Every structure is written in structure tokens, then in C-alpha cells.
A and B are shown apart, each in its own frame.
Chain A
Amino acid sequence: MLKLMGAAMVVAASGLGGLAVAANYSRRPRELKALRSALQMLETEVVYSATPLPEALARVAGKCDRLVEPLFSRAAAEFAASTGITAADAWEKALVHYYPGTALKPQDLSILRSLGSSLGRSDREDQVKHLHLAMEQLKTATAGAEEEAARNIKLWSYLGFLGGLITVLVIY
């Protein structure tokens, strides 16, 4: 009886581990898409309503998907917290806070970093160019992430349970 319970626990643990990995794979494309649409909103704010950057970030935070909301609200909060902070610094601080809780990869982080270094630095046209560049890169990353997700989600959700079953069988 005790043995059966232990076996069930091993299978459940490794199965849930596999499902967690699979969930991570399915999360990355969604986050990339949400980031892209949030940047689209930011572009609208910058170009059409010429909102100052802290306010624009706060507004985007209010409107965008909740997956990326922490990034923008944090950046706006960094602006509000200290006077004289540059947009690049605020963005960087927000990224450092936001990144560990996401399924994003280092290359996605570097896209956002390079956007931050040009944020709020030059005139509108130039900013729009940088936003477009980042959006294009995010689009490419999304395509790659979706392909990866399609291959790996099924694999990992089976792999966890089967790995657990084999472990049980070997040590039973």
C-alpha cells in the first residue's frame, strides 16, 4: 500500500514537472505577441497623441495584456520614483524586475534591451524607427517560438508521465 502511494507520488511529481515545462513552452509565444501589441500601443501613444514617455508607459500598462503589464507599469513607476532618471535606466530596471518571472529567452531580453537604450532619446520619427525594429524582431522571435512550442509541448507533457512510470518500474 505504502509502495503504491509512493509510486503514485513519483508519477504525479514527474508528470507535473513535464507539464510545467510544456506550459513554459506555450507561454513564450503568447508573451512575445503581447509585447509586440504593447509596443504597437506605445507607438500610437508616441506618434498620434505625443504623450510624454512616463505617461505613455503608464497608459500602455493600463491597456495591454496582463502578461506584459508588469513591465510597463514598473517602468512608469521607476520614472515616478526618482527624478532625473533616464528612460533607458527606467526601462532597464523594469526589465531586470520583469524578466525572471517570464518564459522569455535571453535573445528576447536583448531585443527589449536594445529598444530601451534608444527609448526617449531622440525625436519622434527616430523612436518610431526603433519601435518598428523591435517589433519586427519580436515577430521573427514569435514565429520561432511558435514552431518550437508546437514541437515541444506534446513531447514534454508525455515525457514527464512516461519518465515517472519508468522510474517507478525500475525501482519497484
Chain B
Amino acid sequence: MGSSIDLIFKIAGVGILVAVLNAILKHAGKEEQGHIVTLAGLAIVFMWVIQLLATLFEQVKSVFRLF
């Protein structure tokens, strides 16, 4: 349980930092780089979340004995 709360905080941190970076890049007239940063943040968060989803599916499989 503790590790998944940590993950939520990490995701929130990435979200905040990406939002700030995006605002700064937009202010400096570099919208394209801002989009790239947003996409990179999304990819990082997906990497974390997909690992959790994989364990969820594993658990579902083991609970219902779908081997």
C-alpha cells in the first residue's frame, strides 16, 4: 500500500513540474518543446502506471485461476 501512495505522489510531482516547464517554455516562445516535454512526462507516468496495471492483471489471473 505504501509504495502505491508514493507512486501517486511521484505522479503528482511530475505533473506539477511538467506544468511549470510548459508555462516557462511557452513564455519563451518555444511551444514545440513544451509539447515534447508534456509528451515525455506522459510517457514517464505511463511507464509507472502500466507496471501497476500489469500486477493488477496478474492478481486477477491468479484469483480466478485463469492459467
> What's the interface size class on A, roughly?
10 to 19
Q: A14 to chain B: closest CB distance in Å?
A: 13
Q: Does A152 contact B (CB under 8 A)?
A: yes
Q: Give Cα distance in the complex from A169 to B20, angstroms.
A: 15
Q: Are B10 and A172 in contact (CB-based, < 8 A)? A: yes
Q: A159 to chain B: closest CB distance in Å?
A: 7
Q: Are B14 and A154 in contact (CB-based, < 8 A)? A: no
Given contacts A154-B24, A155-B25, A158-B24, contact A169 B14 (CB under 8 A): yes
Option from B13, B18, B24, B41 in Cβ contact (under 8 Å) with A155: B24
Option from B17, B24, B29, B30 in Cβ contact (under 8 Å) with A166: B17
Q: Does B44 contact A (CB under 8 A)?
A: yes
Q: Give Cα distance in the complex from A2 to B18, angstroms.
A: 26
Chain B residues 1-30 with CB under 8 Å of chain A are 10, 13-14, 17-18, 20-21, 24-25, 27-30
Q: Give Cα distance in the complex from A166 to B20, angstroms.
A: 11
Encoded as 1 (CB less than 8 Å from any B CB) or 0, chain A from 131 to 161 comes to 0000000000000000000011011001100
* Interface of B, helix, strand, loop or mixed by DSSP: helix
Residues from chain A with Cβ under 8 Å of B21 in the complex: 158-159, 162, 166
Residues from chain A with Cβ under 8 Å of B28 in the complex: 151-152, 154-155
Q: Give Cα distance in the complex from A154 to B26, angstroms.
A: 12
Q: With CB as the reference atom, state the residue of chain B lying closest to A166.
A: B17
19 contacts between A and B (CB under 8 A): A151-B28, A152-B28, A154-B27, A155-B28, A155-B30, A158-B20, A158-B21, A159-B21, A162-B20, A162-B21, A162-B24, A165-B13, A165-B17, A166-B17, A166-B21, A169-B13, A169-B17, A170-B14, A170-B44
